[in-house]
Amino acid sequence: MKLHLGCGKIVLPGWTNVDTIPSTQKWERNPKLANKIHNVNLILRWPWVSESVRLITVSHLLYCFDDNQRGNLIEESYRVLKPGGILRVTDDDNDHPSSKYHERKHHNAKERLSKVLMIAIMVQAGFEVLEMSHGLTQADDPLIMQDLHKHAPEYPACFFIEAMK
């Protein structure tokens, strides 16, 4: 199983595409999209069995959560990943000099998010950090990188972290 968390309107074929409960408004005008997206509250315990997932991608979602919620999401990722499973996280690095953090306040940014903070949360959960680049992956499915915003490769304030359980 492969999880695409916080997918919004981006549906990856062959993946379990997931978004949070408050996002249902996005799908009201597109019932076909709603049938392809699993509506799961990601800050609670997830419905998947422990060690049942081999890949997880999370792109531009974690800024919506506070530090405790981010920690819970990373811990749940660790719980559901199989040994050797990959978690890929992409988001805006608010510590980067060109960060648009202050502009994103209207996008529900809860607390500052940085690559350093995410690495610390991932390591604390038990992950081994592998890659930190937008064009590289340790995963056996290149779609793990396909949910990136189109501007991400040229936007230096984005971080890309891959970690293995």
DSSP state string for 95-106: TSTT--GGGGGG
* Cβ contact 17:47 at 8 Å: no
Helices (H) and strands (E) in the chain, counts: 3, 7
Token pair in block for residue 15: 């993946």
Number of domains comprising the chain:
1
Token pair in block for residue 104: 């994103």
pLDDT given at position 151: 44
Does the pTM of the predicted model rise above 0.85?
no
- 80 vs 151, residue with greater confidence: 80
Query: What pLDDT, in 10s, does the model give residues 76-116?
Result: 999 999 999 999 888 776 655 555 554 554 444 555 677 88
Whether the per-residue pLDDT at 147 is higher than 50: the answer is: no
Query: What pLDDT, in 10s, does the model give residues 28-45?
Result: 556 677 678 888 989 899
Handedness of CA 36, 142, 144, 96 (dihedral sign): negative
Quote the domain boundaries for residue 107: 2-164
Task: Return the percentage of the chain with pLDDT > 90, whole number.
Answer: 33
State the angle between helix axes of 115-125 and 67-80 in degrees (0 to 180), rounded to the nearest 10: 50
pLDDT given at position 8: 79
- State phi, psi for 113 to the nearest 5 degrees: -130, 135
Query: Looking at residues 110-131, what average pLDDT do you find?
Result: 85
CATH code for the domain in which residue 138 is found: 3.40.50.150
* Cβ contact 36:66 at 8 Å: no
